[in-house]
Amino acid sequence: MTRLMLLTESAVSKLRSELEKPGGLAGYRGGGFTFTRDALLPSTVEVSDTLPELKSAGPECDAPSSVNLYRWLGSLEEVLATDERLWAALAHGHFAEYTRSRWPVPSDDSKAISSIRSHWFVGGGLGGLRRNSVARLWWAAHLTYAPWEDEQDGAEFGGLKPPDGDPFIYTTTLFKNQNVYQALVEREFGSSRRVLIAMLEVIRRDPTNRATDAFSNALGKQVNLLSAFREISALPVATLVNNFEALAAGFTRNQG
Amino acid sequence: MAARPFAYPHPVLGSGDDVVGELSPLNLTVESHADRLVLNAGPFSSTNPTLSTLLEQGLASYAIRVHCSGTYFRRSWTSSKPVMQIIIPASRLVGTVKVRLWVIAKTLLGTYRPQGLHADYGETTFRLEDCDVLAEGEEVAFTADKDFDPLAGAVSSFMRIECGENDTGPFETIFDQPRILIRLPKLDWANYQLLKSSAPQILHSAIVLPVLAEAIRVVWDRPDHLLDLAWFQKVDLMLTGAGAEPEDPLVETAQKLLQNPFSRAGQDAARLVQEDE
């Protein structure tokens, strides 16, 4: 086991400011980054010396990469997992090659800067964590990991536990389609674990027809409307699943 | 830009002039502890007789939603009682946290028609389902400060070292603030800055270890005026986690919490010596 080293706030700030300087993109387009001792900060997070395998062949690799990363980093505290020093350090350090490969840096410099800010750093709001190459993988797993083990609501999710007990069943569902992550997690109601898992359960039941752009967009819109006049995060999980199934049936009828 | 008012599909107290009456303010107070936030809200009340009756009969309830966009935290608590206490782990909230009060249906209300309904609704009745909003209450935002830096290691999250006023002499320790404050003499400050970047572990033995030992003694003494301070609660939690007892030697306990700092200081010192050679 080894203690994870982070970038200091000033090191992150320096990296960001150097982006627009001549030659500032070189490290992102190839090679790598080396940091002086005072740019690094020992964290309280201990990880295995063996890095997890993060495949970058395409979006279909995100689910296994997410699972591998979560197993390696573990269940960090949420406040810690919003910290840019952590994710920028991992994107520029251990997973620089992965980040470069999964999110290729555009040849146009201004587009390159925009892409690097999104995937190598953490911008503002929920979108920032969703776009960072490493943070998005960890948060996807964290938000969906074995809901039946949830300290407060675990019993309510008990009925959703699959026979094989796969704790990452909803992580896999979340990455079935790139739009599902955006349509569900990046909306305010998606921060409610009950609502998010209930929506993913509905998609999991028929991934061929439901893990699609059209379905996830439609479901996201309908749940958004519903949440405006109903406090859906106070509803039992079973009721949410039934409500969302009814919405899904409505989409099918309209398509027919 | 002001938010566009939302048109509910049914009459809601607090939404324009749909229904006559008021919902009381949230009356929120937030207590920040090292490991948790305690939100106390209420007492609440409604001046609309229909809502008051539904609340008394358990057919409606108060609901408080806590939403922290920084950590993907969104959760609602319901209660028929007019006061609520909500405890949330401090690790789950950072930055702006929004808290909102509602009154919601707790069952199917097949023919809902509150007293004081606006005349435009005529004789219409409404079918409401479980958790449909009956009244919009106040929304309050507070900031969940990251008093303790979770990435900076356990110690620097509750100790702060700064340059003092004296040129020379012993460093000062101040325990009656949220973080333990250590003030170094000006002439030592420059050396501290040098060590901080080149051999930080030496500082653990030279400064942090004795201060932590003193802090542990303070925690065991439990003086009333320090009990609520964040550093006190953090050290208390660390002592509990380490299974330490008041009768244990202070310096040994401090070394245990710091995971044997001299071993690391020795490594830093040896490296500096080798670099000089």
Q: How far is A109 from chain B (nearest CA, A)?
A: 30
Please give the residue of chain B at the shortest CA–CA distance from A231.
B131
B71/A125 Cβ within 8 A: no
Q: What is the pLDDT of residues B112-163, one digit of tens each?
A: 999 999 998 889 999 999 999 999 999 998 878 654 444 445 566 688 888 8
> Are residues A140 and A181 in contact, defined by beta-carbon separation less than 8 angstroms?
yes
Q: What is the pLDDT of residues B13-38, one digit of tens each?
A: 998 888 999 999 999 998 877 778 89
The residues, ordered by sequence, that sit 6+ positions from B100 with a Cβ below 8 Å of its Cβ are B26, B64, B65, B67, B137, B138, B139, B140
Which token pair is A172?
């896999």
Q: What is the pLDDT of residues A172-183, one digit of tens each?
A: 999 988 888 877
ipTM: 0.88
Task: Establish if B126 touches chain A: CB-CB under 8 angstroms.
Answer: no
Residue B260 CB neighbours (<10 A): 12
A37 CB neighbours in chain B (<8 A) are 197-198
Please give the residue of chain A at the shortest CA–CA distance from B67.
A191
The residues, ordered by sequence, that sit 6+ positions from A158 with a Cβ below 8 Å of its Cβ are A148
Q: How many pairs of residues across A and B have Cβ atoms under 8 Å apart?
A: 104
B153/A42 Cβ within 8 A: yes
Which token pair is B195?
């060590």
Q: How far is B69 from chain A (nearest CA, A)?
A: 7
Stretches in chain A below the pLDDT threshold 70: 124-126, 252-256
The residue ranking higher by pLDDT, B178 or A68, is A68
Q: What is the pLDDT of residues B180-232, one digit of tens each?
A: 889 899 889 888 887 876 777 788 788 889 999 999 999 999 888 888 777 88
Which token pair is A21?
């300087």
Distance CA A185, CA B1 (A): 25
Residues 163-182 of B with CB under 8 A from A: none
pTM across the whole model? 0.76
Which token pair is B249?
């030697």
A139 CB neighbours in chain B (<8 A) are 72
List beta partners, residue B135.
Answer: B13, B103
Q: Could you say which of A82, A86, A228 has the minimum Cβ distance to residue B94?
A: A82
Distance CA A233, CA A219 (A): 16
In this predicted structure, what is the pLDDT of residue A96? 96
Average pLDDT of span B93-110:
92
A52 prior amide bond cis, ω within 30: no
B2 pLDDT above the threshold of 50:
no
Distance CA B118, CA A160 (A): 44
Instruction: Please state whether beta strands B95-105 and B109-112 pair in parallel, antiparallel, or not at all (unpaired).
Output: unpaired
